[in-house]
Amino acid sequence: MALIENTEKVNYLNALREAIFEEFELNENFIAIGEDIGLLGGAFGVTDGLQARFGTDRVYDAPISEATIVGTACGLCLNGKRAMVEMQFIDFISCGFDQIVNMVATYHYRTAGEVSIPMVIRGPAGAYGGGALYHSQMNEAWFANSPGLKIVCPSTPADAKGLLKSALRDPNPVIFYEIKELYRKRQIEEPVERGDASLVPLGKAKVRREGSDVTIVTYGQNVYHCLDAANNLKAEGFEAEVIDLRTLVPLDKQTVIESMTKTNRLVVVNEAPRTCGFAGEVLANVAEEAFELLDAPPVRISRMDTPVPWAKPLEMHVLPSVESITEAALRTCRY
C-alpha cells in the first residue's frame, strides 16, 4: 500500500511513515508497541493509520512504562517477531535503559551468536524547538557506549525512509533518532523512492557538500547549520566539505579520513553535551588513525554541559549555531 507517489515531495515525517507501512506489508511478523501509537497514531503522527491497517494484534498501545515496552518487545522478538518500539520522546528512553543495554543489546553476545533481537527503538529527538530539558535531548552517546546496538540519525526525508527500512530489516537492535524539528520542515521536502529502491545502507556517511579547505562532520539537524556555515565560509574565501554521518554506530571513519586527505582540517558538530559527546569520539578516531593529515588542531562544537533551557535566547545560547560553527571553522582555516 503506497502512501505517497514517487514524484511527490515528501516531508521527513511521511517518509518515516511510508517506510513503516512498506515493511509491515512485507513481513507479517512485524509488531509495533508504544504509548498512544495505535488509536492516536503517535504523539507526532508517525504511526497514524498503522493500527487501522494492521490491527491490534500487531500494533499495541502500551502503558506508560518504557521498561515494560522494551521488555515485552524483547520477549516477542525471542518468539519469532520483529519489533518496532516507539518512545514518545527519546528523552524517556532512560526509563527503559536497563532493558535496552543489559538485555536487548547483549542477547547476541550472550548466546554466542545464536539469538538475535531484531528490534528498532525509535523516537523524536533534538532541541531548537523550545521543548526544554525533558523534550530536547540527544542522548546517543549513552548507547554508543553499549556494544550490540547500532545508532542511526537521518537528516533528510530520503535518508529517513531508507535508513529506517534498513534498520527494520537488520537482525540486531537499532536505536533510531528522529529529529522532531525536521518532521514537517517544508524546506527539506524531497521526492523519495518506493520499495527497495529507497533503501540506504547502515554505516555509510554522505558528503552533503564538497570542499577543499576544512571538513565539517555532523548529523541530524546540525547538517543544515553546517551547510549554512559553509556558505558563510565561502564568502570568506574558504570551501568547506560537509559530511553527514547518518549512522553513528557503526561509524564510517573512511569517508571522514578521505575528506581530510583533501582538507587537512576538521570540525565536528553535534547538539549533545560536550563532555563524552559523540563529537569527541570522531575526533579521537581521527587523532588515532589520521593524525598526520592534520594541519590544525581539530575542533568540536556542541551543546554546553547544561540541560536545554526553555527560554529561547538561552536555548540558542547553549546549542551549536551557524555563527559558532562559522567562527570555529574560520579559526581552523586560518590557523
C-alpha–C-alpha distance, residues 72 and 34, integer Å = 10
Cβ proximity of 293 and 264 under 8 Å: yes
Sign of the C-alpha dihedral, residues 313, 317, 320, 324? positive
| Residue 49, Ramachandran bin (φ over 0: left; ψ between -120 and 50: alpha; else beta) | left
Cβ proximity of 192 and 161 under 8 Å: yes
Give how far the C-alpha of residue 79 lies from the chain's centroid of Cα atoms, to the nearest Å.
28
Residue 32 φ/ψ, nearest 5 degrees: -125, 140
Known catalytic residue at 108:
no
Q: Is 271 helix (H, G, I), strand (E, B) or coil?
A: strand
Helices (H) and strands (E) in the chain, counts: 12, 14
Cell of 103: 538485555
> Which has the closest alpha carbon to 282: 327, 319, 250, 306?
250
> Which has the closest alpha carbon to 329: 180, 189, 248, 213?
213
Give how far the C-alpha of residue 26 lies from the chain's centroid of Cα atoms, to the nearest Å.
24
Cell of 173: 537492535
C-alpha–C-alpha distance, residues 14 and 16, integer Å = 5
Instruction: Please state whether beta strands 266-273 and 214-218 pair in parallel, antiparallel, or not at all (unpaired).
Output: parallel
Task: Name the catalytic one among 108, 135, 225, 317.
Answer: 135
What amino acid positions are annotated as catalytic residues? 135
